[in-house]
Structure formats: structure tokens, C-alpha cells
Amino acid sequence: MSKPIIRLVTCGSVDDGKSTLIGRLLVETDSVPHDTVAAARSVRRSGSTIVAGDIDFSLLTDGLEAEREQGITIDVAYRSMSLLNGRRLIIADAPGHEQYTRNMAVAASRADVALVLVDAARGIRTQTLRHLTICSLMGVSRVAVVVNKLDSVGYQESIYQAIVEELAIVAARLEITDYQAIPVSALVGDNVIVRSNSMPWYSGPTLLEYIQTWDKADAVMDSPHMGIQLISRAENFRGLSGTVLNGTFNLGDEIVVLPSKRKAKISEIITYDGKLESIGDGDAATLVLEPDIDASRGDSIQLANNFTNPADRFRANLVWLGDKELVHSRSYYLISSSTQVPAMVTSIRYKLNVNTGDHEASEILAMNEIGIVDIATDSPIALNTYKKERNTGSFILVDRVTLNTVAAGMVSHTLRRSENVSEQHYEVDSLARAAQKNQSSKVIWLTGLSGSGKSTIANELEKQLFAAGMHSYVLDGDNLRLGLNKDLGFTQADRAENVRRVGHVAQLMSDAGLIVIVALVSPFSADRDSVRELFEVGKFMEVWVKTPTQVCIDRDPKGLYKKAASGSIPNMTGIGQEYEEPTHAELILDGTEPVIENVKILLAAIL
């Protein structure tokens, strides 16, 4: 039986020598083509001090032209290497720069072993601590702290021991139990593959010895699951396709499709090799169910006698990767395996200080910061705890406007409230309430700069609807901030929460059968889009009151622009804070036109 592949990630701060170390490992295990090694003898980075004819080991992993020009690692470089004991090693050389922490986190999420480098002359730095913290959160089972560049400090044992003592405190705090400090010189080759004669005071393993003695712990493989990636259809055929993880499915097994909890039995297991009696961990297959119950991409298949209860509230460790800070109460896409649902961070419990391990109160997470957060999803999903199962306990958050990945998360546990709250359905529904009023309910969402004319248009529109015998109500941003939203300010997070609350109030009033008119600046597209998703198609109308900024400043009905100019309002939309113009509004009104003309356009769209 072949031994499992070892997946390794190298990390640490900038210029600690990661690329050089991996390059030497590759060369000395004969894992690099000879012509590539020859090129590394002749090609030089700008400003390189390596003697002509010697190998620049770092070039063997820095694959991007920008990396070679700048002398840094930007992207994760993957290399395959053959170990001396016949095992295969997949190396992920992660960048050390702080702005590329996201790349390192992705590489660590699949790693079995981590090499965290420390420059002996500089000691343990903030980025070193951040990478150690991420390795701990990501469940990396073995960590080698490589104290590099011992040749630059005369191979002094005292310097190495001081780093080891500091490391012991950090490892205990992060609960890293399987770790080893190894003194090396990647440039010279000391203790990388061959034991160094320059450090007789060190009796531990060489780096290669420590890597190749790692053995995968026997995982508990009793909870098989398959994320549905594709619905396979043909004439008189329908199957559910995906990859099986963490166990085995057998012909005749009773399964449950989550989150619906519909049950069926496996009547056929179809693979590239034909029909099988069972399918195991890591294998791709198409399962045919009896009966052919409803399921779709993103659902999960598990055994009926051992499945994860879907939930919509989770606590998680979150590594924030976005350029812009985390805004709780803003809707993001949560993606785990093939499952994608809208979700929001409802609260940041605390931020982790990577230097001390202290839990610090915080209302935001900035790029590369780590926090414990509570997350709510729009619909229940089957997520495990990360400690139990990496694949179904991890997720990413994606910005709904840019579609950029902004966070990596590891589930700590399900929150109890998700099991204690359930939706109640009543016989008198929205359609019945609207029919009683002889109208169709909907939400007219007026967005635009302060002074654009939203409230004036909303007021005239409601007057016209009232005169026509229609039942309507105006939700005005300022009025709501006098009561329901009195506790909110004007930061991005507070604006997101303001829009979220108004959106849900509008949803309730629409459910009551009313025509709801909302007059709210609502400057960010993601927040408006999250409100749109609360409503059925045709029930929500985004109306952009498009008025030039200078016209709004000249009107300045509340004196806000004057205050912003004096510096007393730093977050004034259109001045100190961006207004994201709607890209798919159902209606655009010219705020410079007479109010009655704009109301006529609205009435024509509503009635």
C-alpha cells in the first residue's frame, strides 16, 4: 500500500529565505530538471550578490516574472519533490509579504506540514506570528520552525536558544503540539538534508528527516458526504454527481439530501469505470436514488443515520483578506464546497492580537486581521466544525459586487439559536392582504445623494396614491434614525445595518399588503442588492434619483453639505464617503426635473 502524499507549506516573514530553502531541497533530492538548475546558475536577479556559477536556489520557485524582477514571492508556487524514503512531497511556497497573506492562508488550508522560517538575525516578527496563528487555525498537524541564516550570526547557539524559548510560549498559546525548531542555513546547506558540522550543539533531526517522518493520523472515516456538483440528466436517467469525502457509500444505503432532509436509497453507483457496489473517500461518482427525490447543485448527500443538522447560525474563526475592512450586517456570499448562500457577519466577538494572543474588542476587521465572528446565512446549510472535518467545516466569503474572495473561515460551532427559531406560516398571506385592499403590494426604493429630492418625491407620490384610494406608507431615512435606527452612526458598518433594518421593515409592510415607499441614501450597491433579494421578482423597484452633486450642494436643504465642508461631518455621502451609483435600477429619475413629472413616471410604473 502506497504511503500518502505529504502536503507542505512554507511561510514566514519577508526575506527569511523560504524560496532559497525550497530550491535547495528540490536540487539536493534531484527533483528539478537539470536544464532548470543550469539556468539558475546563470540567471541573476537585479542586485543579486550570488557568485557567478553558483545556483540561485530562490529562482527555482519564483515562477512569475514580477517575482524575479522584485526579488519577492507574490503567488503560491507549487512544486513536487521525491523524498529519500520514496514518498512524494507537494510543496507550496507561500509569499511572506503581508498583503499576500490571503495566498498563504489558501496554501495552509490543505497542508499537513508547515515550515515557518525565522531569520536568526531578526528573530520572530509579526508576520511570523500571523503565519503561525493561521497554521494553527487551519489545522496544520506538524510545524517545523526553521531558524534560518545561522551562518550570518556565526552559528551562535545562544541566538537559536533565545528564539526557541520565545517559540515555546507562542506554540503553547496556539496549542501547537507537534513542532520542532531546526537551526539551518539554506544558503550553505546546514541541517537541510545533511547534518551540519558547524552546529555540534544541535542534536535534533535535519529538516528533511523531520518532514519525511510525518505520518497521516488515522482519520475517522464514518461520516461520508458528497457535495452535489452536477445534476446528470439523459433520457429516462437522472443522477447526482460529486466527490465522496470522509467515508464510503454502498449500494442500498439510506441517505438524506441536505438541507431539505429528504430521504432515499442508493440504487446505482456509476463511475468512469462502470457501475460499482461502493464508492470511497476521494472518488467521483454519480449516485442514482430511489425514489428520485428533488435535489440541486450545492446540496449535500449524507447517510440517513449519521448526518449533520443544517443550521443558519455559526461561530467561526475568520481571516479577513479583503482590501476593504469587514462590514458586519453587509451581505456576502458564503461558499463551502459546491454550496453557495447569502450570509452576513452579525457580530465580531473579538479580534485576535497575533503578537500576544489577547482577545481585543473590535467593530471591524482590517486586511490580514483574524477574529472570532458570528455568521448568519439566509438559509440553513450543513457545516461541520473545522476540527472534525476540514472540507465541510471551512468556507470563504465573497464580495457580492466585485466577486472577490474577502475572507477564509473555519467553523467553531453551530449556535443554538439556529435550532430554537423557526419560521411560522399563517393562512392569511401577503396576496390575501393586498387583495383586501384591491392593490398589489410592492416596495419603491428611492436612492440618491442627500438633497437629490428623494423625500420630496416620496411625499408627493404618497399623496397621489392616497388620493387614488391606495394604501401606502413612506419609510424615510431621517425619521427612522430618530427611533428604530437611533443607535446607528454613519460608518460603512452602521450604514449597512441601517439599510438591512429598513429593508426588513419594508418587507414586513409589503407583506401586510401595502405599497411601501423608501427614501434612503443607501450609498452602497451590496447593501441595496441584499435588500432586493428579500423580495420576489417584480415586488421591488430600485429607483435612482439622479441629481448632480453640485445641484445637491446648492439645495442643501438640511445644511449637511455646509457642515461637511467645515469638517464636522466626515462621512458625508458624495463628499467624504463614496456613493456607488446603481447599475441595474428599474427606474432612473432626473432630480432636476419638476417633482410632479417624476411622480407621473413613478405612477405609470406602479399602477
Question: What CATH number should be reported for the domain holding residue 36?
Answer: 3.40.50.300
Please indicate, yes or no, whether residues 208 and 281 belong to a single structural domain of this protein: no
Please report, in angstroms and rounded to a whole number, the separation of the first and last CA atoms in the chain. 73
List the one residue out of 516, 513, 541 whose CA is nearest residue 462: 516
Considering the domain architecture, whether residues 238 and 382 belong to the same structural domain is answered as: no
Q: Let me know whether 46 and 134 are in one domain.
A: yes
Residues 55, 121, single domain; the answer is: yes
Give a yes or no: residue 426 inside a domain.
Answer: no
DSSP states along 356-387: T--EE--S---TT-EEEEEEEEEEEE----TT
66 pLDDT band, cuts 50/70/90, is very low
Q: Both 281 and 347 in a single domain?
A: no
In a domain, 207, yes or no: yes
Q: Is residue 422 part of a domain?
A: no
pLDDT tops 90 at residue 330: no
On whether both 247 and 347 belong to a single domain, the answer is no
Residues 104 and 53 in one domain: yes
- pTM of this prediction? 0.73
Is 421 part of a structural domain of the chain?
no
Same domain, yes or no: 381 and 299: no
Answer yes or no: is pLDDT of 13 > 90: no
Cβ contacts of 13 within 8 Å, gap of 6 or more: 96, 117, 118, 119, 122, 125, 126, 127, 128, 131
Q: How many domains does the chain have?
A: 4
Residues that are catalytic: 522
Taking CA atoms, 378 is separated from 38, 101, 341, 381, 533, in Å, by 56, 29, 7, 9, 10
- Structural domain for 347, as ranges: 311-416
Looking at 161, 180, 212, the residue that finishes a domain is 212
In a domain, residue 219? The reply is: no
User: Domain check: are 346 and 318 in the same one?
Assistant: yes
Closest to 366 measured CA to CA, from 55, 99, 108: 99
User: In this structure, what C-alpha cell is assigned to residue 221?
Assistant: 472515516
> What is the chain's mean pLDDT, rounded?
86
Tell me whether residue 427 is in a domain.
no
Residue 1 lies in a domain: no
Last residue of a domain, one of 173, 188, 212: 212
For the chain, the C-alpha Rg in angstroms (whole number) is 30
Q: Are residues 158 and 95 in the same domain?
A: yes
Whether 296 is in a domain gets the answer: yes
Q: Which of 469, 456, 483 is nearest to 515 (CA)?
A: 469
Range in 31-40, 459-468, 563-572 with the lowest mean pLDDT: 31-40
Q: How far apart are CA 300 and CA 318, in angstroms?
A: 23
pLDDT at 420: 65
Whether 318 and 298 share a structural domain: no
CATH number of the CATH domain containing 292? 2.40.30.10
Please calculate the CA angle 417-421-424 and round it to the nearest 5 degrees.
170
pLDDT at 2 over 90: no
Q: What pLDDT, on the 0 to 100 scale, is given for residue 247?
A: 86
pLDDT band at residue 1, thresholds of 50, 70 and 90? very low
C-alpha span between 540 and 515 (Å, rounded): 10
Are both 90 and 162 inside the same structural domain?
Answer: yes
* Type of residue found at 597: E
- The C-alpha atoms of residue 131 and residue 103 are separated, in whole angstroms, by 11
Per-residue pLDDT averaged across 280-291, rounded? 90
User: Grid cell 383586501 — which residue?
Assistant: 436
Q: Which long-range contacts (CB under 8 A, 24 or more apart) does 508-512 make?
A: 509/473, 509/475, 510/430, 510/441, 510/442, 510/443, 510/535, 510/539, 511/429, 511/430, 511/433, 511/441, 512/430, 512/433, 512/441
